[in-house]
């Protein structure tokens, strides 16, 4: 009994709960070894930072035991019963650990220094934690605190520049959920739905997300960035292999905040922002710009480029000797009334009535004003946290209300998190980490296509403007009543983007609850047993109603209710053993996991409401034409995992793991796979022979790892089964009746199995000049085999593709981080962080089958065929561009040359690579990469007294983007009254980077041109001020900060068709925030 | 001790968790909301759904822009593609743009989807054939239900192979559902494909049910007989073809619809008289016309077409039934574009002001009346003028060309409200549309925007979706009707030089249509197949795969050595595709009758674009990406197109017996080792 009591007193918490488990283990182990009592005394003291401020929460421990305490809010500590031969160890995250022999001292006043290298930081490694100094794999830890200055509004902003080898994409929507990528793409996927984008491949290369130790299948927007304590990115195979089957794309581990010892801390922050348009492709503005375009375009299409005058030219610009001809050509001989002359001219361009009125009245509009606005962003957060002896708690509430630049597009969310840990008994902790989210996607957004919108047209009939009888709110989008909305915009098939949203009511909401309940048993002999049970509930509603008052609709009212329900459970049982024998340290982990994901979807909809549609989507029963459908899936997985971490002294670390996974989406023959890994590290600077290493050399560590991981993402539901598509049509038998028709749309593949990725990682961690210069270099190579490939089949099979395990992809690359403390004085600090990553891949194999191939010389060789339809080539990068090559534009005088290919001056000059006089598939050549091999971020932070200033630069280099715009041959021209303001060729304005209007694109109308897309962006600029204590003390506030920052400040690029990243819009955000703790 | 208990408890718990999660059943996934072949194609009802998929595939060729069917017509002498805003259309300047890399797959050219969808639908027909003996049939191999399904699947497969061989010549020839990633297809000589199809269709006409035994929408045995007759003629078995048509005409399942069937005093709407938004009467031509045998036969009202006795095989579609099938959009595809582009219908006196209100909204009157045509199919002078100028008479008595049934541009009126605002134009407001005013051309793009056509068979009010899209609503359409049976028999008789019988068959059709003059036997004898083709064009404009008929006749000319206007054709060697690609009846006929290709007429919208045609264009290029996936063997490109220089000799098929699942033709002849 006495021993137990002592144990409870000696339990330590250092504020970072992630340390807890380790310490508990160590503690239990040591207690069991405790022998007789020697002579003891009480020691006490005070711990401060370099600046003299007291440091609470510092762990003070007697070396080799778990006896100890932590400093209080004033930095004071006291430990009874300390033996004279003991050594006190002072440790605190981010500070250099200090050891002091007790001897005959009883008072210890210690000053701790920040440790730039952070070797004692605790890192989440999956089903456990480790100290940074013990790491053998590539794990990068990001503390949320480090990035606080930039006021990240979401997780992606937090991580965008923080981790070498982690790329974060962009999203321009109000909800803002971009993609993450760790290192290169390890898998390739075809454009299965043939929509020209690569979302299939992006999805299959998504890293696994783990939240508080549990695999997180949710939406990144569920995680409130303010709840995040730290993020660990597991990059290499050995680190990630703990998660086996889903880890080949890397793992991002989020750890949320836990209560810290001391009185309750309340933190509140508010952030207000504005989202504005930044780089966007412009259209011609009202006036000479657009009229000049219309003139040029019509002259070009009618082949009148070189005429001295044309009827499309503005009358005033026609040389006087041709003016009467002009009047004749426009059907108004001898006309002198300028209004009539202008009207005749406008008729040439098929201006509609309202456009002519507006032109004559000198009115012009920019549709960007109708379709985009400055969006508001609000973000309010409050949290309460603290810890008593037995209970640790953290509770937060966050509210986000955000708009995008697109009119009417919004997203609101409410998140709440409760992290609670109760020490029920000395050997048992129980708790819950739970997250609640409510998301609301707001009203139907107003479409944002402005490309062909006439600057003399508006969303409303002209009668609404300047008419005192029409109510004018002065504000978009609903400036005038909806009755005045035009049913279609001027031009062909323009529609009116305002029309339908004005008659749509919708409720797009989602609730998600994600609690992890756990019990942790601390057992003798260094064992701990943790059992997690996680459930996840997800309810999504999409209710939608179209009001038949919209003159464009004749469905008699239409309403739809869609319900998605998900219920998922995961069970993790983890047994851990941690023991130290002299210089040997063991940490052994075993895991048994099972999970089940169940999704149910129901859609009910109806049209033709009677007697009334007044109830909208609430009253589906009144629809005379009802329709229903459903889609369910149940997926199961399980896993067994074992891991041994071994350390010898402070120099050698070794880790080995083994995991076996099962997944129900694979073919019945192959549900299981195993994933091993081995890794080791050597801390050179701790070797005896390095004892007299030069002072500037602080730290050197070598790491090497090998591991195999799996990938199962990107696989559709029931991928191993032959499936039937399901549809209906009509037959007639005395009356129309609906008949089902079904056909096989996928072949069965019972052998469908895991995609495997085998990777090596070699790394060097370095620190010089007391950490003033520090960082890591990781070099890796990986090979993915048994790719889950959608092999394109010849169409004559009746199938477009089949998913099979064939092919092999190689990746090599490196991640380098360089962190420097450039200047450090008592009130001025300047630090920099430079991250660069490079990745290159190569397709090694696609089918594994050799066929006869005839080379240029007519010799037959056996090799694997390329997959031309997917654009995959053996021995090439998967992102290689394979396209016709052009070389400038045929100029006037080169008619004959052009005619050989059926082309004309103003058309791009195609390079006939094999000189056979025909441009065909044999003339396609490799032209660089469509994805950036280089990704760099460069961050600088300056602190001066209470002020801080930061700037982040981001660069994506070495790639090209595609655009069909340089061809200037869109069929929409002739029917519309505006276009993008982009270069085009005319004989008078000869150029080589853009073709004539209606040029001929030999590759076909949708074949793009590839142009350099690399860019450097000033990603973020932050300015903040921490109010001094002298002001805060009297008002009982412990911390207060005001900050201003700008996201997407500027971009530098050669790309001219919109922002190089999004290819169209990329908003700029200004935000202002205040943040208090008390 | 307590701790030891804890530990052993723990180990037990761990092991328990292990056994639970290692349970094999736990990882067994069962499809919940989608069906699989194993649980669906196990009875007659299941196999019927696969057959229905293939049938729906054919419906898709007519619905929505009249897709492949319209494209097929534009590749003949009857019509040309008129969408003058797509200068890379592979159907216009064919010498430049009909290439294996042109990716156009829309109104401007359907080479891609004819090929792609053809093989998709062959897969669906093959599904029925492969799985035919999975169900337990009461009558075994003689079970009538089994044999009807099998025969129907043969019929559908033969229909697709007819399209593929007429479109692309020698092609790959799968007769089974591919169950593994096969990538070594080779082309077969089309003759072998036809021989197999004839064997299959001979089985089909023995076993398929009659129209009266089936719901409308299902192909009856008479449809198979029409198709088999065409196949027979490909093999110069004209007497057999004629005999089949005798059966179809005499079996009482379908018959011609005549004036006697038209209810007294009935009227037919050939266009819209009311604005569908508000019911208000639209000014201009009164579209409510007295009923006659032709406009009533084609009237899109209720289920009239589905019930009409003339239909042999009919596409079933109707407004507001589940909305699954989409609109036919026949007016959009076949009607002139009165409403858009700045070279369209302009008002007098100078042709500069827009003549017709082109706003896409509830106020647009003429669009509601005549439908929102896009001019994708432009009749040639042959279709618009020559065939109606019969024996020196401009025949407007013929119901098929009677004003009202036939749309003429001057039935539309200028209704642009701006015309009223201008002194010069206001007198023309609500006046009929015209092409010239005192010598001034008023419509520059007359290819797309100015022509007449038989609106009676295209117009259908759109009650579904967006009312402003009055481009042809959901409607039933005849795929094969009795009139074609007469014209197929006339053709069979012409080949046999049975001039009197051929004349009778043609005149039956003309009489029903109230034409002024009939053919005499000597007319038919002197015009030969031209008489049949002319009458087909009058009767079946917009209802036939005209290109395929011309190619089929080209084969017959080449095989028989018969002459057409002094020209004779032949097959040199064994390769029909190669022979026809250099010289064919198709090319000569199109150049003779199609003024656009003959005169290489240029567009006004894109001055450098003109209609061009070479003999090789009888067959179309195969879209290159469709071939490159076939890495295990050379799958031939169509003769004359880039890539065909590497073609290999097509395989010779050995005909397999009908009545049971097929062997893979390549395996059967030992081509795959």
- What pLDDT does residue A4 have? 39
Query: Which of B29, B104, B130, B307 should be substituted to probe chain A, the one whose Cβ sees the most A Cβ atoms within 10 Å?
Result: B29
Contact B353 A635 (CB under 8 A): no
**For A330, which of B6, B303, B352 is closest by C-beta distance?**
B352
Alpha carbon distance A341, A328 (integer Å):
11
Q: Tokens representing A214?
A: 């549990």
CB contact A849 to B (< 8 Å): yes
Whether pLDDT at A760 is above 80: yes
- When CB atoms are compared, the residue of B52, B119, B625 closest to A869 is B625
B216 to chain A: which residues are within 8 Å by CB? 731-733
Q: Note whether A631 contacts B33, CB cutoff 8 Å.
A: yes
Burial class (CB in 10 A: 0-12, 13-18, 19+), B184: middle
On the question of pLDDT at A34 being above 70, the answer is: no
pLDDT band at A534 (very low <50, low <70, confident <90, very high): very high
- Closest alpha carbon within chain A to B47: A742
Position A464 scores a pLDDT of: 94
Assigned token pair, A472: 């004018």
> Taking CB atoms and an 8 Å cutoff, what residues of chain B touch A902?
96
Mean pLDDT confidence for A661-686: 89
**Res A30: pLDDT:** 41
**Are A722 and B320 an interchain contact pair (Cβ–Cβ within 8 Å)?**
no
Q: Closest residue of A to B33, CA-based? A: A631
Which A residues 939-978 touch B at CB under 8 Å? Answer: 969, 971, 974-975
Q: Is A799 on the interface with B (CB under 8 A)?
A: yes
Q: Name the residue in chain A with its Cα closest to that of B445.
A: A302
pLDDT level of residue A52 (50, 70, 90 thresholds): confident
User: CA of B218, closest CA in chain A: separation in Å?
Assistant: 7
- pLDDT tens for each residue of B520-539: 999 999 999 999 999 999 99
Statement: residue A80 has pLDDT above 90: no
Of residues B324, B422, B629, nearest to A792 (C-beta)? B629
**Which of B29, B476, B632 minimises the CB distance to A664?**
B29
From the CA of A497, how many Å to the nearest CA of chain B?
Answer: 14
SS3 (DSSP) at B527: helix
Chain centroid to Cα A682, Å, comes to 34
- 541-580 in chain B: CB under 8 A from chain A: none
Closest chain B CA to residue A347? B353
pLDDT at residue number A746: 85
pLDDT-wise least confident of A194-203, A302-311, B653-662: A194-203
Q: What is the pLDDT of residues A463-519, one digit of tens each?
A: 999 899 999 998 989 999 999 999 889 887 788 999 999 999 999 999 999 999 999
Q: A794, A923, A924: which to substitute to probe chain B, counting the most B Cβ within 10 Å?
A: A794
Q: Which span out of A55-59, A1036-1040, B164-168 was modeled with the highest average pLDDT? A: B164-168
Residues (pLDDT < 70) of chain B are 1-24, 321-324, 340-341, 465, 673
CA atoms within 13 A on the CB side of B394: 3
Query: What does the pLDDT read at residue A302?
Result: 80
Q: Does A553 touch chain B (CB under 8 A)?
A: yes
**Which residues of chain A neighbour B422 with C-beta distances below 8 Å?**
340, 343
Q: Do A523 and B361 touch (CB under 8 A)?
A: no
Query: With an 8 Å Cβ cutoff, is A590 touching chain B?
Result: yes
Quote the minimal CA–CA distance from B471 to chain A in Å.
13
pLDDT at B138: 95
List chain A residues with CB under 8 Å of B362: 487, 551
Residues 334-393, chain B: which have Cβ within 8 Å of A? 340-343, 349-354, 358-362
- List, in order, residues 6 or more apart from A59 with CB less than 8 Å away: A12, A14, A68, A70, A89, A90, A91, A92
Structure confidence at residue A25 (pLDDT): 41
Tokens 């059907």 locate to A331
Q: What is the pLDDT of residues A395-418, one digit of tens each?
A: 999 999 999 999 999 999 999 999
The shortest C-alpha distance from B41 to chain A (Å) reads 10
Smallest Cα–Cα separation from B340: which of B318, B320, B355, B323?
B355
Instruction: From chain B, pick out residues whose CB is under 8 angstroms from the CB of A667.
Output: none
The DSSP bridge partners found for residue A561 are: A543, A604
Alpha-carbon torsion, ordered A452, A454, A460, A466, to 10 deg: 160
Q: What percent of chain B has pLDDT over 90?
A: 77
- Residue A118 clears pLDDT 80, i.e. is over it: no
B8 in contact with A, Cβ within 8 Å = no
Give backbone dihedrals phi and psi of B94, rounded to 5 degrees, phi first: -65, -35
A:122-151 residues touching chain B, CB 8 A cutoff: none
Given CB atoms, is B1 within the 8 Å cutoff of chain A? no
What's the confidence (pLDDT) of residue B13?
Answer: 58
Supply the pLDDT for residue A195: 67
Q: What is the pLDDT of residue A1029?
A: 82
Phi, psi of A208 (to 5 degrees): -80, 140
Inter-chain CB proximity A636 and B26 less than 8 Å = yes
Alpha-carbon distance of B148 to B126, in angstroms, equals: 15
For residue B315, give the chain A residue with the closest CA: A731
Q: Which whole number is the average pLDDT over A432-449?
A: 94
Mean pLDDT on A716-743: 89
Whether A634 and B32 lie within 8 Å, measured CB to CB: yes
**Cβ–Cβ contact A1 with B under 8 A:** no
Q: Is the pLDDT of residue A12 over 50?
A: no
Of B307, B322, B354, nearest to A627 by CB-CB distance is B322
A116 pLDDT more than 70:
no
Q: What is the reported pLDDT for B18?
A: 52
Query: What tokens does A838 get?
Result: 């490079």
Residues 519-538 of chain A with CB under 8 A from chain B are 521, 523-524, 527, 529, 531
B174 near A CB under 8 A: yes
Instruction: Report chain A's mean pLDDT, rounded to a whole number.
Output: 87
**Which pLDDT tens digit goes with each residue over A584-628?**
999 999 999 999 999 999 999 999 899 999 999 999 999 988 889
Q: Which of A552, A847, A1001 faces B466 most closely, judged by CB atoms?
A: A552
| pLDDT of amino acid A222 | 86
B209 contacts chain A (CB < 8 A): no
A975 contacts B85? CB cut-off 8 A = yes
pLDDT score at A495:
87
Which residues make beta-bridge pairs with A592?
A573, A640
Which residue, B147, B78, B51, is CA-closest to B543?
B78
Residue A14's pLDDT is what? Answer: 35
Residue A699 CA to residue A139 CA, distance in Å, equals: 17
The count of CB pairs under 8 A between chains A and B is 349
Which of B43, B47, B53 is most worth mutating to test chain A (most A CB atoms within 10 A of its CB)? B53
- Model pLDDT for residues A260-302, shown as the tens digit of each residue: 877 889 999 999 999 998 888 999 999 999 999 999 998 888 8
Mutation for A interface: B183, B354, B414, B440, most A CBs within 10 A: B183
Out of B49, B342, B605, name the one closest to residue A350 (CB): B342
Residue A374 and residue A783: Cα distance in Å, rounded?
46
**Min Cα–Cα distance to chain A from B631, Å:** 6
Secondary structure (DSSP) of A28-88: HHHHHH------EEEEEEEEEETTS-B-TT-EEEETTSS-EEE--TTSEEEEEEEETT-EE
Q: Give residue A957's pLDDT band: very low, low, confident or very high (50, 70, 90).
A: very high
Q: What is the ipTM of this complex?
A: 0.93
For residue B589, give every residue at least 6 positions away whose Cβ sits within 8 Å of its Cβ, in sequence order, or none. B77, B533, B550, B564
Query: What distance lies between CA A698 and its chain's CA centroid?
Result: 36
Interface of B with A in 465-494 (CB under 8 A): 465-468, 476
Distance CA A54, CA B179 (A): 74
């Amino acid at each position: 009994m006495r021993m137990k009591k002592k144990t409870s007193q000696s339990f330590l918490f250092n504020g970072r709960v992630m340390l807890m488990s380790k310490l508990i283990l160590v503690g239990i182990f040591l207690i069991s070894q405790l022998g007789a009592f020697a002579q003891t005394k009480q020691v006490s003291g005070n711990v401060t930072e370099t600046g003299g401020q007291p440091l609470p929460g510092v762990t003070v421990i007697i070396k080799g035991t778990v006896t100890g305490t932590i400093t209080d809010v004033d930095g004071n500590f006291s430990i009874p019963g300390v033996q004279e031969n003991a050594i006190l160890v002072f440790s605190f995250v981010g500070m250099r650990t200090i050891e002091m022999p007790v001897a005959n001292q009883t008072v210890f006043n210690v000053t701790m220094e920040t440790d730039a290298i952070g070797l004692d930081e605790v890192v989440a490694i999956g089903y456990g934690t480790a100290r940074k100094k013990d790491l053998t794999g590539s794990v990068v830890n990001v503390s949320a605190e480090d990035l606080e200055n930039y006021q990240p509004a979401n997780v992606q902003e937090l991580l965008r520049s923080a981790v070498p080898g982690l790329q974060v994409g962009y999203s321009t929507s109000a909800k803002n959920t971009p993609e993450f990528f760790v290192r290169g793409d390890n898998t390739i996927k075809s454009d299965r739905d043939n929509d020209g984008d690569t979302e299939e491949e992006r999805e299959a290369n998504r890293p696994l997300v783990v939240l508080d130790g549990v695999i997180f299948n949710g939406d990144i927007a569920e995680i409130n960035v303010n709840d995040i304590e730290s993020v660990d990115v597991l990059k290499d195979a050995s680190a990630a292999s703990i998660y086996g089957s889903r880890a080949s794309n890397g793992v991002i581990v989020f750890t949320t905040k836990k209560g810290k010892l001391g009185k309750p801390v309340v933190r509140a922050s508010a952030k207000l922002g504005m989202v504005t348009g930044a780089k966007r492709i412009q259209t011609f503005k009202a006036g000479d710009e657009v009229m000049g375009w219309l003139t040029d375009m019509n002259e070009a299409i009618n082949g009148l480029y070189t005429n001295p005058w044309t009827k499309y030219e503005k009358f005033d610009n026609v040389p006087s000797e041709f003016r009467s001809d002009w009047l004749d050509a426009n059907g108004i001989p001898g006309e002198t009334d300028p209004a009539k002359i202008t009207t005749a001219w406008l008729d040439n361009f098929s201006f509609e009535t309202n456009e002519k009125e507006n032109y004559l009245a000198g009115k012009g509009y920019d549709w960007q004003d109708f379709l985009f606005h400055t969006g508001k962003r609000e973000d309010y957060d409050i949290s309460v946290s603290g810890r008593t002896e037995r209970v640790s708690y953290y509770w937060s509430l966050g509210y986000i209300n955000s708009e995008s630049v697109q009119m009417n597009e919004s997203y609101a969310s409410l998140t709440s998190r409760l992290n609670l840990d109760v020490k029920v008994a000395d050997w048992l902790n129980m708790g819950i980490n739970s997250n609640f989210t409510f998301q609301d996607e707001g009203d139907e957004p107003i479409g944002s296509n402005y490309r062909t919108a006439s600057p003399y047209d508006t969303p409303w009939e002209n009668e609404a403007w300047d008419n005192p009888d029409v109510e004018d709110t002065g504000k978009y989008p609903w400036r005038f009543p909806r009755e005045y909305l035009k049913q279609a915009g001027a031009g062909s098939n323009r529609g009116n983007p305002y029309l339908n949203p004005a008659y749509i009511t919708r409720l797009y909401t989602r609730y998600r609850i994600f609690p992890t309940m756990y019990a942790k048993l601390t057992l003798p002999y260094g064992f701990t047993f943790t059992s997690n049970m996680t459930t996840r509930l997800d309810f999504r509603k999409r209710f939608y109603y179209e009001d038949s008052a919209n003159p464009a609709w004749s469905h008699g009212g239409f309403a739809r209710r869609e319900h998605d329900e998900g219920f998922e459970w995961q069970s993790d049982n983890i047994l851990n053993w941690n023991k130290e024998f002299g210089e040997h340290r063991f940490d052994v982990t075993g895991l048994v996991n099972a999970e089940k994901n169940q999704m149910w979807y129901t859609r009910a909809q109806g049209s033709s409401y009677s007697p009334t549609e007044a109830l909208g989507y609430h009253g589906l029963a009144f629809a005379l034409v009802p329709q229903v459908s459903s889609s369910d899936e149940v997926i199961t997985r399980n896993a067994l995992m074992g891991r041994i971490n071994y350390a010898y002294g402070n120099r050698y670390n070794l880790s080995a793991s083994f995991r076996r996974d099962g997944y129900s989406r694979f073919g019945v023959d192959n549900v299981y796979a195993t994933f091993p890994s081995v890794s080791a590290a050597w801390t050179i600077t701790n070797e005896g022979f390095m004892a007299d290493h030069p002072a500037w050399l602080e730290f050197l560590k070598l790491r090497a790892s090998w591991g195999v991981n799996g990938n199962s993402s990107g696989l559709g539901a029931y991928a191993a089964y032959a499936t039937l598509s399901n549809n209906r049509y009509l037959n007639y038998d005395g009356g129309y009746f609906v008949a089902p028709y079904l056909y096989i749309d996928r072949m069965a593949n019972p052998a469908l199995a895991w995609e495997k990725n085998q990777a090596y990682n070699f790394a060097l961690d370095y620190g010089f000049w007391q950490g003033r210069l520090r960082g890591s270099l990781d070099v890796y190579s990986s090979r993915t085999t048994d790719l889950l490939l959608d092999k394109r089949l010849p169409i004559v099979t009746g199938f477009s593709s089949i998913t099979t395990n064939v092919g092999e992809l190689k990746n090599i690359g490196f991640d380098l981080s360089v962190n420097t403390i450039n200047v450090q004085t008592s009130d001025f600090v300047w630090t920099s962080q430079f991250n660069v990553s490079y990745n290159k891949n190569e397709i090694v194999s696609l089918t594994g089958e050799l066929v006869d191939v005839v080379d240029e010389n007519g010799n037959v060789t056996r090799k694997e065929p390329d997959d031309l339809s997917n654009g995959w080539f053996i021995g090439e990068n998967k992102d290689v561009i394979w396209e016709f090559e052009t070389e400038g534009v045929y100029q006037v005088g080169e008619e004959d040359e052009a005619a050989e290919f059926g082309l004309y001056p103003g058309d791009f000059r195609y390079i006939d690579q094999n000189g056979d006089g025909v441009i065909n598939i044999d003339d396609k050549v490799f032209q660089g990469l469509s994805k950036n091999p280089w990704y760099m971020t460069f961050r600088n932070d300056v602190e001066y007294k209470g002020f801080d200033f930061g700037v982040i630069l981001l660069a994506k280099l070495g790639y090209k983007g595609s655009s069909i715009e340089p061809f200037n041959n869109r069929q929409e021209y002739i029917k519309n009254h505006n276009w993008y303001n982009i270069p085009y060729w005319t004989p008078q304005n000869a150029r080589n980077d853009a073709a004539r209007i209606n040029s001929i694109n030999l590759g076909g109308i949708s074949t793009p041109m590839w142009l350099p897309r690399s860019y450097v962006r000033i990603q973020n600029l932050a300015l903040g001020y921490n109010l001094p204590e002298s002001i805060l003390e009297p008002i009982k506030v412990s911390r207060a900060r005001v900050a201003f920052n700008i996201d997407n400040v500027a971009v530098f690029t050669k790309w001219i068709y919109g922002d190089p990243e999004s290819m169209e819009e990329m908003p700029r955000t200004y935000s202002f925030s205040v943040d208090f703790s008390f | 001790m307590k701790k030891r208990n804890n530990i052993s408890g723990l180990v037990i718990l761990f092991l328990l968790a292990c056994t639970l999660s290692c349970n094999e059943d736990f990882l067994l996934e069962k499809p919940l909301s989608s069906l699989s072949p194993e649980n669906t194609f196990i009875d007659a009802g299941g196999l019927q759904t696969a057959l229905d998929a293939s049938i729906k595939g054919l419906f898709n060729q007519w619905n929505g822009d009249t897709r492949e069917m319209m494209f097929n017509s534009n590749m003949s002498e009857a019509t040309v593609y008129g969408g003058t805003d797509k200068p890379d259309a592979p159907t216009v300047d064919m010498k430049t743009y009909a290439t294996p890399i042109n990716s156009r797959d829309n109104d401007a050219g359907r080479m891609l989807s004819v090929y792609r969808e053809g093989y998709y639908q062959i897969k669906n027909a093959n599904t029925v054939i492969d799985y035919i003996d999975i169900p337990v049939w009461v009558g075994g191999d003689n079970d009538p239900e089994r044999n009807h399904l099998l025969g129907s699947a043969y019929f559908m497969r033969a229909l697709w192979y007819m399209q593929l061989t007429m479109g692309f010549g020698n092609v790959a020839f799968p007769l089974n559902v591919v169950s593994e990633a096969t990538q070594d297809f080779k082309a077969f000589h089309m003759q072998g494909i036809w021989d197999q199809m004839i064997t299959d269709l001979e089985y089909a006409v023995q076993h398929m049910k009659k129209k009266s035994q089936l719901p409308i929408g299902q192909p009856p045995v008479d449809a198979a007989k029409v198709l088999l007759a065409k196949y027979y003629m490909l093999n110069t078995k004209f007497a057999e073809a004629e005999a089949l048509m005798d059966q179809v005409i005499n079996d009482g399942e379908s018959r011609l619809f005549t004036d006697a069937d038209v209810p007294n005093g009935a009227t037919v709407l050939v266009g819209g008289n009311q604005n569908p938004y508000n019911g208000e009467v639209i000014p201009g031509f009164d579209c409510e016309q007295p009923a006659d045998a032709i406009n009533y036969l084609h009237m899109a009202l209720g289920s009239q077409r589905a019930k009409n006795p003339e239909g042999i095989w009919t596409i079933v579609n109707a407004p507001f039934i589940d909305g699954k099938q989409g609109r036919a959009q026949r007016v959009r595809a076949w009607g002139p574009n009165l409403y858009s582009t700045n070279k369209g219908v302009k008002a007098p006196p100078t042709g500069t002001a827009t003549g017709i209100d082109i706003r896409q909204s509830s106020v647009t009157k003429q669009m509601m009346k005549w439908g929102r045509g896009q001019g994708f199919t432009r009749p040639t002078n042959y279709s618009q003028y020559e065939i109606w100028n019969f024996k020196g008479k401009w025949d407007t008595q013929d119901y098929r060309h009677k004003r009202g049934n036939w749309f003429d541009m001057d039935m539309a009126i200028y209704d642009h409200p701006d015309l009223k605002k201008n002194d010069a134009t206001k007198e023309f407001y609500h006046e009929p549309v015209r092409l010239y005013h005192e010598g001034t051309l008023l419509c520059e793009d007359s290819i797309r925007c100015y022509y007449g056509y038989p609106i009676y068979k295209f117009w259908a009010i759109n009650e579904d979706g967006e009312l402003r899209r009055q481009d042809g609503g959901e409607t039933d359409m005849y795929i094969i009707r009795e009139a074609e049976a007469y014209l197929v028999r006339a053709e069979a008789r012409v080949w046999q030089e049975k001039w009197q019988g051929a004349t009778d068959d043609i005149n039956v059709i003309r009489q029903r249509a109230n034409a002024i003059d009939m053919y005499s036997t000597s007319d038919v004898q002197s015009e030969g197949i031209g008489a049949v083709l002319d009458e087909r064009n009058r009767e079946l404009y917009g209802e036939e795969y005209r290109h395929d008929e011309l190619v089929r006749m080209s084969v017959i000319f080449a095989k028989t050595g018969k002459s057409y206007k002094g020209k004779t054709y032949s097959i040199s060697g064994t390769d029909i595709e190669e022979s026809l690609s250099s010289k064919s009846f198709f090319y000569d006929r199109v150049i003779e009758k199609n003024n656009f290709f003959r005169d290489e007429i240029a567009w006004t919208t894109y001055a450098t674009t003109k209609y061009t045609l070479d003999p090789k264009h009888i067959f179309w290029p195969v879209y290159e990406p469709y071939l490159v996936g076939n890495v295990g063997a050379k799958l031939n490109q169509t003769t004359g197109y880039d890539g065909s220089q590497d073609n290999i000799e097509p395989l010779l098929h050995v005909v397999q017996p009908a009545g049971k699942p097929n062997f893979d033709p390549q395996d059967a002849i030992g081509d795959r080792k």
